[in-house]
Structure 1
Amino acid sequence: MTSVITRLDAARLAAHRDELADLLLAVVRAGSSLGFLGDLDHTAAAAWWDSLAPAVEEGSLALWVSRPAGGRLDGTVSWYRESKPNGRHRAELRKLMVHPGARGRGTARALLREAEHAAARAGVLLLVLDTETGSGAEHVYHGAGWTEAGTIPDYATDPAGRLHPTTLFYKRLELPR
């Protein structure tokens, strides 16, 4: 099943907030950390998406969603551009998530590829990220050519509140010619 990947502006983010909240809830309930605990509810998930609107509006946050033909959103990814003068060449990839029912179809890789290409077009030379050590996401990043930079023990809790290490990754990008 082919999905269409679309970059969201602030208006589209607001229009899709309930679907995005549902996606976030499904991913957290399936055990992915993403910074949230298991007691996350729809209201809090929707409020979190709402909190991103100013950054999307002013351009420091780039956000994409994936939607299969005729279906609900099945994935998302974003990156924040560093605002400090000495770091404007880099961005942090955040919240790559795929609905548990849509995994294994290449959605994560397609979203990641789109975010990487857009970052290079925007002049970003370096992307960084962290992910739960031992998660399926690690396999995605290794397969997409990301370099593992190290592991930090007890970095964050999973949705059940158990501490887990995180693995840091980076990828150098080439600007389009």
Structure 2
Amino acid sequence: MSGAVRVRRLSAAEVEAYVEPLVDILIDCVEGGAAVSFMSPLARHKAIAFWQRAADGVARGERVLLIAEDLDGRVVGTVQLITAFPENQPHRADVSKMLVRRDARRQGVAASLLAAVEDVAREAAKSVLVLDTATGSDAERLYERAGWQRVGEVPDCGYTPDGQLCGTTFFHKRLSSGEVQTEFTQ
């Protein structure tokens, strides 16, 4: 699937229309052990409420939501850019909820989403990005390969979906104001 995904930005109305596939991705990731703020088993109504709040944030201009679709149009991944920060941080954004279906992993989906969200951030004049991930996760290696700098780790910062304490590793990346590097549709 490498290179065989289309990454695009969703409007608030589109997020509402894509709630079901987004819910499926979130539940799949949590069932697979991803420490993304939810415990297992994740009730469908909780996942729906999460995506509805995300749609509200998109509508208010506080976040951007991107999806990755495979050649069949199936949503296989998503990532968000949180842009609502205090007036002394207009240059900053957080990358959040990078989720890729387990059956679509190791095929370049996450790398495509990460490149696209960085481009969205550049277009929004954001020059400092921050994210966190479970310590020891495959995502750590992805971020390092993409030029993100490890800031540090907070031990026992959260729980895995099965109730085990896990550390959280924080990363940042400074973006140049150069040209957009990845094509995606809005």
User: Is the pair's TM-score, using the shorter chain for normalization, greater than 0.5?
Assistant: yes
* Residue deviations 1:118-154 (CA, integer Å, cap 9, x gap): 1011100100011000000001000000000000011
Query: Mind listing any 5+ residue stretches in structure 1 that lack a counterpart?
Result: none
Amino acid at match of 1:88: P
Q: Residue deviations 1:64-121, cap 9 Å, x none?
A: 0011011421000011014201111100100011100000100000000000011011
Alignment match, 1:87: 89
Q: CA RMSD in A?
A: 1.0
Q: Following the alignment from structure 1 to structure 2, what is the Cα–Cα distance between the partners of residues 42 and 90?
A: 32
The whole-number CA distance in structure 1 between the counterparts of 2:11 and 2:176 is 25
Q: Tell me which moved more, 120-129 or 49-58.
A: 49-58
Looking at structure 2, the residues matched to 35 and 43 of structure 1 have their Cα atoms a distance apart, in angstroms, of 15
Matched, 1:144 2:167: no
- Give 1:61's aligned residue: 63
Unaligned runs of 5+ in 2: 180-186
Query: What is the correspondence of 1:41-80 to structure 2 with a 5 Å cutoff?
Result: 41-80=43-82
Match of 2:137 in 1: 135
Give the match's secondary structure for 2:176.
coil
Q: How many angstroms apart in 1 are the aligned matches of 2:73 and 2:29?
A: 17
Report percent identity of matched pairs: 37
How far is 1:51 from its partner?
1.1
TM-score normalised according to structure 1 size = 0.97
Quote the Cα distance in structure 2 between the aligned partners of 1:10 and 1:122.
17
Figure out how many residues of one structure are paired with residues of the other and give that number: 177
Q: How high is the TM-score relative to the length of structure 2? A: 0.92
